[in-house]
A = this chain, B = another copy of it.
């Protein structure tokens, strides 16, 4: 039986989520601004070239990200590293631009109920709100990334049709987003569902402009990433130490751990330019600051293993 020819990408670009999606969803105390800055420095030093550093939302809604300006002003910019931030509205974008952000992001949902409960408006309304953000960003010559959540399932609606994901992805792409990050927000997807979703979205947006943003809540993220790389996806979102947890399941995993993604990619012979050992060190350091264990299986295996 001949080994099926692998069609995996030669190189993957990894987009690091720990400072924003990660720390925003860590239960417990607020993380000091200097810890966030140190985390971002360490990630850049490990070779990561895309870091979501902050969120410019109202601190009324997300107090954990209330120091976005201080974080952005505090970091020492590493040449070649893109520091991005979430900017859900024009006010957030103006603040982000003033703080010298490199790139911004807007976020929609593939599920109508999730959109209503999470951002208090319909999918169509959310897309409409992004229009002025996109035009202002273009004017400022700042790239915009689009997130779509609930691409493989919704905590309120259950299954989500791949076609619904494709429509929202297409709308964000048409609006000018340079890349669409497809989020399995509650981590319920499995490999064939992930492949089918990418196939549907790939009809509307070129696959090299898609990113996989998979959560590991049900332990499927690594398998799903392997499956969508077979479909040509070459950008992966992940969070060092699996920071963030899952707001929909206490004690469960959220973001797939950067360490585990890098271990997978090294095993597959795929280049990233990132030093796994340095990311492991960063994961041990940030989780010791937070008083928890890393959510990366590679980190747990290495931590207790002489080899």
Q: How far is the CA of A46 from the CA of B307 in the complex (A)?
A: 38
- Encoded as 1 (CB less than 8 Å from any B CB) or 0, chain A from 224 to 235 comes to 011100111000
Contacts of A189 on B, CB cut-off 8 Å? 267
From residue 177 to 215 of chain A, which have CB atoms closer than 8 A to chain B? 187, 189-193, 195-196, 199, 202-203, 207
A14 at the interface (CB under 8 A from B): no
Contact indicator A297/B264 (Cβ below 8 Å)? no
Residues of A within 8 Å of B, CB-based: how many? 58
Chain-B contact segment, one of A36-44, A56-64, A246-254: A246-254
Q: Is the interface of A mostly helix, strand, loop or mixed?
A: loop
Q: How far is the CA of A222 from the CA of B257 in the complex (A)?
A: 15
Please name the residue on chain B nearest to A216 by beta carbon: B297
A3 at the interface (CB under 8 A from B): yes
A74 at the interface (CB under 8 A from B): no
Contact indicator A219/B257 (Cβ below 8 Å)? yes
A4 at the interface (CB under 8 A from B): yes
Known: A226-B226, A296-B219, A298-B219. A267 touches B193 (CB 8 A): yes
Number of identical monomers bound together in the oligomeric complex: 2
Instruction: From B1, B257, B297, give the contact of A217 (CB < 8 A).
Output: B297
Contacts of A223 on B, CB cut-off 8 Å? 222-223, 225-226, 264
19 of the cross-chain contacts (CB-CB < 8 Å) are A1-B199, A2-B199, A8-B192, A189-B267, A190-B267, A190-B268, A216-B297, A218-B297, A219-B260, A220-B260, A220-B263, A220-B264, A222-B223, A223-B264, A226-B226, A246-B301, A250-B304, A252-B300, A252-B301
Instruction: From B192, B257, B267, B307, give the contact of A268 (CB < 8 A).
Output: B192
